[in-house]
A and B are shown apart, each in its own frame.
Chain A
């Protein structure tokens, strides 16, 4: 069974940092692009970042460029999101999602259960 389990969320003050992790299992991790998607409380979905199978290509939504870094450790079947200079508007549930094998961006299947990040003083 394909599983994605996020961790690392919590309450953090504005301007501080947080690192999210996503443990993947049940599929060949190295075959897939991986993504982070977030959802602010009561709001819609917002794509955050994509990373290629070998980590050589990364794409970010404009609002997090220069602050967030997506990375992966293929030896550990893990995906990460390093979030720096956090703002109140980054408050959201962050979902880890398996993307596609090829460059079919927008394809997310499956999704993890999500981890809540709250940025507040």
Chain B
């Protein structure tokens, strides 16, 4: 049972826009920055979004993050086959721990 709640799966067709939600509480998302990670099959995770909505250099602008209250979202526009991966949200919690969402498996149909 993860502290942050994500849907276990999401899907879309090439070119479509998909969003992945991440729900938390006032002790984490509600008062801290949210981070998003992409994990391609068989590889280590990669930072996708930091400080709620900032993209590291090299991350396409098709990926965007947002936060409202105790929830956050990752949006992927112009979906491509190479976006098929697991996506995780993360945040610091007042319990002095980093908490992750359970992960969302994105399938490109």
Residues of A within 8 A of B (CB): 35, 37, 44-47, 50, 59-62, 95, 104-114
The binding surface of chain B is classed by DSSP as: strand
Interface size on B, residues (CB 8 A): 27
CB-CB under 8 A from B97, the residues of chain A are 47, 59-62
Using a CB-CB cutoff of 8 Å, which residues 17-50 of chain B contact chain A? 32-35, 37, 39, 44-47, 50
**Residue pair A104, B33 in contact (C-beta under 8 Å):** yes
Residues of B within 8 A of A (CB): 2, 32-35, 37, 39, 44-47, 50-51, 56, 86, 88, 90-92, 96-103
**Residue pair B88, A45 in contact (C-beta under 8 Å):** yes
Closest to B92 in A: A105
In the complex, given contacts A45-B88, A104-B51, A107-B35, what are 18 additional A-B residue pairs having Cβ atoms less than 8 angstroms apart?
A: A44-B103, A45-B39, A45-B103, A47-B97, A47-B98, A47-B100, A50-B98, A61-B97, A106-B90, A106-B92, A107-B51, A109-B46, A109-B47, A109-B50, A109-B56, A110-B47, A111-B46, A113-B44
**Residue pair A108, B96 in contact (C-beta under 8 Å):** no
